[in-house]
């Protein structure tokens, strides 16, 4: 859900090492992942999605109506596509979704989701320019689907994605207004508050798509396009690239945010009713008791409060740069900036694990062709999520521990080690870690760090930071001194 908010300051690698960020990991095993935000682009206008066309480029959707290309670390000044004159923009309206056809490299087809000037939801097909692969043909628009949504400006949904079955999935909100006044969520004849599924490769004679025969309401009462229902405002869904499982982040009304998982083995969400507006999360909405029959509870939920207000769904990490994140579903909250994880293959229900307590107002997550995960912010930034490792191993030989942790990283990755809870002054010590990486093991007191040592830290500029020893989180004083770290070029 998009809500105008003030600006923010990005939290960089070591700034994540605060008590709040590390508290959940402290109860887990050694070397748990803690997230860091690695900036890759800035200066965008309301970025709401980062995605790929099965190549090395990253395509960033700006809510104002443009699609930008991040290519080789450079944000191209000329938009890939500009439809700002065709859309309504403001609040939760705008250009909201983008999906490239699985055969885009050959056919040049892609699809966008935007709000019409009157508020209606529009899904359209465009094609790549025949003369420039970095530009789309703005005259190639082919309307695919339009859904009436003129009464309220909020709860539009907006995500598009091709599933493992090759069909296009479309997420719609319930039509807006508090509490679903249109009763869309449970109305199987309405296309609002739903996940829809269409076949864009086999158009019928009367419409520019075909209804897949396996959709749950084909041949029975209910809209043929519906795949799943009982959703309030699904703000980002995704498919696990490893097994095809469907993940949905559904924004709650005023008390509970939820994450839904539909396993491929169980039908990938076919015909599931997620409960809105009978349920908000796993709780009866507006009542002490309710009929839960036939309603699918969420995999996880979290309450409002402590700054939380609106879930932003993400992706199961299947990249290679951050191996400790593999198999974890990453998601966040728009208002608080917190990013959590769930075990993609774990049981249900699950409690979320906090990985990063950032200052970022999270508008969306994204994924590139290699499975690396990104996050976009209201401040116009795109950042890559990377892991940093925290070892809480105790024992006298911290050098051996540092060397063991270092061995898990490629030799090209510079690493610095900070040992906390030690009774040493600001000494830079050698040892196996230094020999292996050319970077020192820094021994500091748990509660303070001298200015001279802070200066040495600032000059190291490691790409990864490992904190050794101690039984708690890095103290505020140490975290503050480390906040000047930036990734090495």
Q: Summarize pLDDT for 93-111 with one digit per residue, the tens.
A: 999 999 999 999 999 999 9
* Residue 293 confidence (pLDDT): 97
Which tens digits make up the pLDDT trace of 75-86? 999 999 999 999
Domains defined along the chain, listed by start:
38-384 (2.120.10.30), 392-482 (no CATH)
Residue 71 confidence (pLDDT) above 70: yes
Lowest-pLDDT range, 25-29, 147-151, 286-290, 333-337?
Answer: 25-29
pLDDT at 440 over 80: no
More confident residue, 112 or 21: 112
The overall average pLDDT reported for the chain is 81
| E strand map for 234-291 | 234-239, 246-250, 256-262, 279-280, 283-284
Residues 406, 437 contacting (CB under 8 angstroms): yes
Residue 411 or residue 334, greater confidence? 334
Residue 78: its pLDDT value, please? 98
What is the reported pLDDT for 324?
A: 76
Which pLDDT does position 474 carry in this prediction?
41
Q: What percent of the chain has pLDDT over 70?
A: 72
Mean pLDDT of 137-146: 98
User: What is the rounded average pLDDT of the residues 372-383?
Assistant: 97
**Mean of pLDDT values over 164-184:** 97
Q: What is the per-residue pLDDT for 195?
A: 98
Comparing CA positions, the residue from 360, 386, 298, 328 lying closest to residue 36 is: 386
Report how far residue 140's alpha carbon sits from residue 156's, in angstroms, rounded to the nearest whole number.
24
| Structure-model confidence comparison of residues 332 and 485, the more confident one | 332
In this predicted structure, which of 61-70, 269-278, 360-369, 381-390 has the lowest mean pLDDT?
Answer: 381-390
DSSP one-letter code for 320: S
pLDDT, residue 10, reads 21
pLDDT tens, residue by residue, 10-19 = 222 222 222 2
pTM for this entry: 0.79
Q: Average pLDDT of 424-436?
A: 35
206's tokens: 């009367």
Question: What is the number of residues in the chain?
Answer: 489
Q: Is the peptide bond before 96 cis (omega within 30 degrees of 0)?
A: no
**Listed residue (339, 344, 340) closest to 244, CA to CA:** 344
Q: Using CA atoms, how far apart are residues 226 and 224, in angstroms rounded to an integer?
A: 6
Q: Is the pLDDT of residue 456 over 60?
A: no
Residue 388 has a pLDDT of 62
Lowest mean pLDDT among 55-64, 194-203, 302-311, 348-357: 348-357
Report whether 149 contacts 91 (CB < 8 A): no
């Amino acid at each position: 859900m998009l809500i105008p908010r003030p600006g923010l300051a990005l939290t960089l690698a070591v700034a994540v090492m605060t008590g709040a960020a590390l508290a959940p990991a402290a109860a887990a095993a050694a070397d748990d992942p803690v997230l860091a935000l690695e900036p890759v682009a800035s200066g965008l206008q309301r970025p709401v999605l980062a995605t790929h066309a099965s190549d090395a480029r990253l395509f960033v959707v700006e809510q104002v109506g443009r699609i930008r290309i991040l290519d080789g670390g450079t944000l191209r000044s000329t938009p890939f596509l500009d439809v700002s004159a065709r859309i309504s923009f403001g609040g939760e309206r705008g250009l909201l979704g983008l999906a490239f056809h699985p055969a885009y490299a050959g056919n040049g087809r892609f699809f966008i989701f935007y709000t019409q000037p009157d508020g209606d939801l529009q899904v359209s097909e465009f094609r790549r320019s025949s003369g420039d692969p970095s530009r789309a043909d703005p005259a190639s628009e082919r309307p695919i689907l339009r859904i009436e949504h003129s009464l309220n400006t909020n709860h539009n949904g907006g995500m598009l994605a091709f599933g493992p079955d090759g069909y296009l999935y479309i997420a719609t909100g319930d039509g807006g207004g508090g509490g679903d006044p249109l009763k869309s969520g449970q109305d199987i004849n309405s296309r609002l508050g739903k996940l829809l599924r269409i076949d864009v490769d086999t158009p019928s004679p009367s419409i520019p798509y075909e209804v897949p025969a396996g959709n749950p309401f084909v041949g029975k009462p209910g809209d043929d396009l519906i795949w799943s229902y009982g959703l309030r405002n699904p703000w980002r869904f995704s498919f696990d690239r490893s097994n095809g499982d469907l993940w949905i982040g559904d924004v709650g009304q005023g008390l509970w945010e939820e994450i839904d998982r539909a396993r491929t083995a169980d039908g990938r969400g076919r015909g599931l009713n997620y409960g809105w507006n009978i349920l908000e999360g796993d709780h009866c909405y507006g009542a002490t008791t309710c009929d839960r029959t036939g309603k699918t509870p969420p995999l996880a939920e979290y309450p409002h409060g402590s700054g939380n207000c609106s879930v932003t769904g993400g992706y199961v990490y299947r990249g290679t740069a951050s191996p400790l994140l593999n198999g974890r579903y990453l998601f966040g909250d728009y208002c608080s900036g917190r990013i959590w994880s769930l075990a993609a293959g774990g049981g249900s229900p699950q409690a979320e694990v906090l990985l990063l307590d950032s200052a970022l107002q999270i508008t969306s997550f994204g994924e590139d062709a290699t499975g690396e995960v990104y996050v976009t912010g209201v401040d116009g930034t795109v950042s890559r999520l990377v892991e940093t490792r925290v070892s809480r191993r105790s024992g006298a030989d911290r050098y051996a521990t540092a060397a063991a942790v270092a061995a898990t990283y490629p030799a090209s990755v510079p690493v610095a080690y900070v040992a906390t809870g030690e009774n040493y002054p600001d000494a830079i010590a050698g040892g196996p870690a230094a020999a292996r990486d050319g970077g020192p093991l820094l021994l500091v007191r748990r509660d303070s760090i001298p200015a001279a040592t802070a200066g040495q830290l600032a000059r190291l500029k490691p790409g990864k930071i490992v904190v050794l020893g101690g039984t708690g989180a890095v103290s505020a004083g140490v975290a503050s001194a480390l906040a000047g770290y930036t990734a090495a070029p």
